[in-house]
Amino acid sequence: MKIQFIGAAQTVTGSMHYVEACGKKFLIDCGLYQGKRKLAFELNRTFEYFNPEEIDFVILSHAHIDHSGNLPTLVKKGFNGKIFATFATRDLASIMLLDSAHIQEKDVEYVNKKRKKRGQNLFEPLYTQTDARQTLELFVGINYHREFEIAPGIKLTFFDAGHILGSASLFLTINENGTLKHLGFSGDLGRPNLPILRDPEKIPDVDYYICESTYGNKTHDNPKDTEIKLAEVINLAWERKSKIIVPAFSVGRTQELVYAIHRIFENKMAPEIRIYVDSPLSVNATEIFRLHPECFDFEISQFLVNHKDPFGFDKLTYIKDVEDSKKLNTAPGPCMIISSSGMCESGRILHHLANNIENPDNIILMVGYTAENTLGRKITEKQSPVKIFGDEYQLNAEVRVMDSLSAHADARELFDYVSRFDKSRLRKIFLVHGESEQQIPFKSKLLNAGFKSVEIPERGYSAEL
Weakest-pLDDT range from 7-21, 99-113, 393-407, 424-438: 99-113
Amino acid at 102: H
Mean pLDDT of 391-410: 92
Number of structural domains (the chain) is 2
Domain with 118, as residue range(s), is 2-218+407-464
Lowest mean pLDDT among 31-40, 201-210, 215-224: 31-40
pLDDT number for residue 314: 84
Phi and psi of 317, rounded to 5°?
-125, 125
341 band by pLDDT with thresholds 50, 70 and 90: confident
Mean pLDDT (whole number) for 6-16: 95
| C-beta of residue 340 within 8 angstroms of C-beta of residue 348 | yes
User: Of 364 and 250, which is predicted with more confidence?
Assistant: 364
Return the pLDDT at 290.
Answer: 82
What pLDDT shows up at residue 287? Answer: 87
Write down the pLDDT at residue 307: 66
The average confidence (pLDDT) of the chain is: 93
The more confidently predicted of residues 292 and 232 is: 232
Of the residues 353, 374, 401, the one at which a domain ends: 401
Are 209 and 184 a contacting pair, CB within 8 Å?
yes
Say whether pLDDT at 196 is over 90.
no
pLDDT recorded at residue 78: 97
* The predicted structure's pLDDT at residue 149: 97
Residues 309 and 209 in one domain: no
Where does the pLDDT of residue 65 fall: very low under 50, low under 70, confident under 90, or very high at 90 and above? Answer: very high
Supply φ then ψ for residue 261, to 5 degrees: -65, -40
In this structure, the answer to whether residues 140 and 71 fall within a common structural domain is: yes
Q: Tell which of 384, 401, 418 closes a domain.
A: 401
Residue 441: give its domain's CATH number.
3.60.15.10
330 contact partners, CB below 8 Å, separation of at least 6:
none
CA distances to 35, 200, 371, 423 from 43, in Å: 10, 31, 16, 36
d(CA 57, CA 54): 9
Residues 94 and 188 in one domain: yes
Of the candidates 401, 421, 455, which is a domain's last residue?
A: 401
Q: Mean pLDDT across the stretch 79-96? A: 96
Q: Residue 301, preceding bond cis, omega within 30 degrees?
A: no
Note whether 9 and 148 are same-domain residues.
Answer: yes
**Would residue 356 be called left, alpha or beta, if left means φ above 0 and alpha means ψ between -120 and 50 degrees?**
alpha
Question: Do both 199 and 335 map to the same domain?
Answer: no
Q: pLDDT value at position 452?
A: 93
Burial 15-38 (b: 16+ CB within 10 A, else e): bbbbbbbbebbbbbbbbbbbbeee
402, pLDDT greater than 70: yes
pLDDT at 305: 67
Q: What is the per-residue pLDDT for 333?
A: 94
229 and 167 share a domain?
no
For residue 354, give the CATH number of its domain.
3.40.50.10890
- Looking at residue 179, its pLDDT comes to 94
Same domain, 366 and 435: no
In Å, how far are 110, 163, 244, 379, 381 from 400, measured between CA atoms? 29, 23, 10, 10, 10
Q: What is the mean pLDDT of residues 341-347?
A: 85
Say whether both 411 and 396 belong to one domain. Answer: no
Tens digits of residue pLDDT in 122-166 = 888 899 999 999 999 999 999 999 999 999 999 999 999 999 999
Q: What is the pLDDT of residues 298-317, one digit of tens each?
A: 877 777 666 667 788 888 99
- What is the band of 455 on the pLDDT scale with cuts at 50, 70, 90? very high
* Whether residues 125 and 183 fall in one domain: yes
Q: Answer with the residue of higher pLDDT: 243 or 110.
A: 243
What whole-number distance in Å separates Cα of residue 218 and Cα of residue 415? 11
Confidence tier at 36 by pLDDT (50, 70, 90): confident
Q: Do residue 337 and residue 455 come from a single domain?
A: no
CB atoms within 10 A of CB 145: 11
CA distances for 295 relative to 261, 300, 346, angstroms: 21, 10, 29
Both 393 and 415 in a single domain? no
Looking at residue 295, its pLDDT comes to: 84
Nearest to 9 by CA among 465, 463, 459: 459
265 and 158 fall within a common domain: no
